[in-house]
Structure formats: structure tokens, C-alpha cells
Amino acid sequence: MSGEGRPRTSVPQAGGLRLGIAAIRWHEDLIEQMLARAVAAAGEAGVAEPEVVRVPGSVELPVVCQQLARQCDAVVALGAVIRGGTPHFDYVCDSVTDGLTRVALDESTAVGNGVLTCDTVEQAVARAGFDDSIEDKGFEATAAALDTALVLQRLRDGNG
């Protein structure tokens, strides 16, 4: 399982930042849990009402996140890609990862990647932030995006 060596997740105080969250419509139970945990992280950070938008699937996340990045200080992408019996999994995972990285760089905006890329549904459940999950990717991606947005803000203000 991934997550080896990761730091303890802490939520920065980020009141005043604008947060956008894009979530896919696939794997509804997983994504609803991850979205709830992302919103919980935003609340702990003092972020008022993140803008939540839905997209058809993971491939659509980058373009919607790009638009959110033009309107928000931080963006979170939430999705799940579960390996099937064809190479489609690899293409989707590469496309989403490359796209979200490009959005962050092109827009100079923090993008939290909360897209699960798993071999099985069981692996995804273990990472989705349920009570018995070992990871909480919706929460972690949101905390990371807000933390990064604050770093960018300090650097832009000359207080790096």
C-alpha cells in the first residue's frame, strides 16, 4: 500500500483562501466519502464554502481544474481509476496525472491530486477515508493543496 513515509497530515489555517473541488461521478460511494473528507479538511482550515463541481470522469478533471484554478487559490481533484483488463487504466492515469500537473504549473495554482489509481476496489476503499480505511486521500489532498497555496501566497508577497 502507498503512503509509506508520508508526513502526519496537518491542516493549515487557510481562512480567506478560495478552494475549488472537482469530483467525478464514477464510483459514487468512494467519491462521496472522499468529497465529505475534503470538505471536512476545508472546514478545519477555516475555508468558507469550497466551490464543488462534478465532472463525468477522471479524464475531464484537468480541464475543469484549470478553470477552477483561474478562480480559486487552491484546487482539489477527486477521482478513482480502478484497473480493468485493458491498457485503458494506464492511459487514463497518465492523462490525469500529466493534466493536473500541467494545470498547477500553467496556472501557478496549488492542485491537490486526490485521484485514486488502484488495482482493486478494495484498495480504493482503503484509501478513501472511511472509518476503517488506512488512508484518507480526500482530506490529505485538500490539506496539501491549501498548505501549498499558503506557501505560494507567501512567496508572491515576498515572505518566502
Annotated binding site for (2S)-2-hydroxy-3-oxobutyl phosphate: 85-86, 127
SS3 for 83-149, per residue? CCCCCHHHHHHHHHHHHHHHHHHHHCCEEEEEEEEECCHHHHHHHECCCCCCCEHHHHHHHHHHHHH
Please answer whether residues 112 and 75 qualify as being in contact, where contact means their C-beta atoms are separated by less than 8 angstroms. yes
Q: Which residues are annotated as a binding site?
A: 26, 58-60, 80-82, 85-86, 113, 127
Q: Which residues are annotated as a binding site for 5-amino-6-(D-ribitylamino)uracil?
A: 26, 58-60, 80-82, 113
Which is catalytic among the residues 25, 70, 88, 154?
A: 88
* Catalytic-residue membership of 27: no
User: In the 8-state DSSP scheme, what is residue 77?
Assistant: E
The residue written with cell numbers 499558503 in the block is 150
- Which active-site residues does the annotation give? 88
